[in-house]
Amino acid sequence: MLTLLGGSGFIGTAIRRELDVCGLPYQSISRAEVDYTNRSHFREYLRSVQPRFLINSAGFIGRPNVDACERARAECLFGNAVLPGLIREVCEELQLPWGHISSGCIYEGTKPDGSGFTEVDEPNFCFRSNRCSFYSGTKALGEEVLQGAERCFVWRLRIPFGAEDSERNYLSKLMRYERLLDARNSLSQLQEFAASCISGWQREIPFGIYNLTNPGSISTREVTEMMTASGGISKQFKFFSNDDEFYQQAATAPRSNCILDSSKATAAGIGMSPIREALEKTLRKWTGM
């Protein structure tokens, strides 16, 4: 049996689907059922159910977007930096292997030579770089809190997209926003991401951090062109003329746009499909047109 935290969320739902596909039994617990923010309740629960593995897909995200985290600072810090540390302590005490869903949004841009950031590169879009959203700051602190954790996977997701319409789905966001910011990014096909997480645990690859993005990168404009080319979309995508216009009119907190190097995951046998291939396949099944 596996234990899943945050199973009702956008990422958690994809994880549950993957566990079902793999025929892996699990218990998805909500804080109302088991207050896993309370160390002793959480420990007692895990002792009673004895899971083989735990997945933490709980975390604080801003609604409707990351700007909301600039106000809900304490909750954001708690969900993204304190909670992972609490889970770590309890899992280490019980010698329980586990995985934490982190984010690639702790980076900005590319390395000086234009290549993507690897798992050993220091975050450059975090409190320590003094230019970040509060959300990214807390996600990077979450990784600091997990430094040196035993039997722990840190899975970095970046701009999830999937076939089902959802306010959290990147493709749905592109359809809903009036104007878009053109920027180049690495992305994560959500179901492939979930499959890579589970598969890495099943194959017993080494614990540690993994960038789980589809190899390559793509610009917002290119994604919208692929959406239009896939047929059925009549929307005329409009773009901000530059970053300044975007930040003046649509955003408060700085946004991370970055390219990640996913070769460690590929080398470990849990690599995802190239970004354009993943997008084409997803767009064919997409329900949000």
Question: Which residues are near a copy of itself by CB under 8 A?
Answer: 73-75, 77-78, 81-86, 88-89, 126-130, 137, 141, 144-145
Nearer to a copy of itself, 81 or 265 (CB): 81
Q: Which is nearer to a copy of itself, 42 or 201 (by Cβ)?
A: 42
**Which helix (H) or strand (E) element contains residue 194?**
helix 190-202
* Residue 12 or 79 having the CB closest to a copy of itself: 79
d(CA 114, CA 53): 37
For residue 215, the minimal CB distance to a copy of itself (Å) is 31
| Contact (Cβ atoms closer than 8 angstroms) between residue 142 and residue 88 | no
Tokens 């190899």 sit at which residue?
A: 215
Task: State which residue, 72 or 181, has the beta carbon closest to a copy of itself.
Answer: 72
> In 3D, which of 101, 111, 109, 114 has the Cα closest to residue 125?
109
Q: How far is the CB of 180 from a copy of itself (least distance, A)?
A: 30
- Rounded least distance, CB 77 to a copy of itself, Å: 5
Task: Calculate the alpha carbon distances from 280 to 80, 92, 166, 226, 274 in Å.
Answer: 32, 41, 18, 7, 10
3-state helix, strand, coil in the chain (%, to 5): 40, 15, 45
Kindly tell me which of 124 and 185 has the beta carbon lying closer to a copy of itself: 124
Secondary structure of residue 154 in the 3-state scheme: strand
Choice between 145 and 259, CB closer to a copy of itself: 145
Shortest distance in whole angstroms from residue 179 CB to a copy of itself: 29
Q: How far apart are CB 145 and a copy of itself at their closest, in Å?
A: 5
CA-wise closest residue to 98 among 57, 68, 127: 57
- Shortest approach of a copy of itself to residue 54 CB, angstroms? 16
Measured from the Cβ of residue 113, the count of other Cβ atoms closer than 10 Å reads 5
